[in-house]
Amino acid sequence: MDETDAKAKAKYEDYKQYIDLDGALALGSGWMGIDFGAYGLDEPLRHIKTNAVQSSVDAFSSADPSKVWTVRELAEWIGIGGLGLLIVGGPATVADELQQWVEETDVDGFNLAYAVTPETFSDIVEHLVPELEKRGAYRSEYVPGMLREKLSGVGSRLPATHPAARYRDLDAIAGRARAAAE
Provide block-wise average pLDDT over 10 residues at a time, the chain (182 residues).
97 95 93 88 78 63 74 91 87 97 91 90 97 94 83 78 80 74 80
Whether residue 80 sits in one domain with residue 163: no
The answer on 175 and 119 residing in a single domain is no
Radius of gyration of the chain (CA): 23
Same domain, yes or no, for 24 and 68?
yes
Quick check: pTM over 0.85? no
Residues 10 and 79 in one domain: yes
Q: Are residues 123 and 155 in the same domain?
A: no
Look up the domain containing 164 and give its range.
Answer: 147-181
For the chain, the domain total comes to: 2
pLDDT at 126: 97
Q: Which bin fits 163, alpha (ψ -120 to 50), beta or left (φ > 0)?
A: alpha
Do 23 and 101 belong to one domain? yes
Predicted pLDDT of residue 104: 94
- Tell whether 111 and 174 lie within a shared domain: no
**C-alpha distances out from residue 173 to 150, 156, 167, 176, 177, Å:** 29, 21, 10, 5, 6
The letter for the amino acid at 66 is S
Domain identity same for 125 and 175:
no
Query: Residue 162 has what pLDDT?
Result: 85
**DSSP track, 108-150:** -------SSTTHHHHHIIIIIHHHHHHTT-S-SS--SS-HHHH
In a domain, 139, yes or no: no
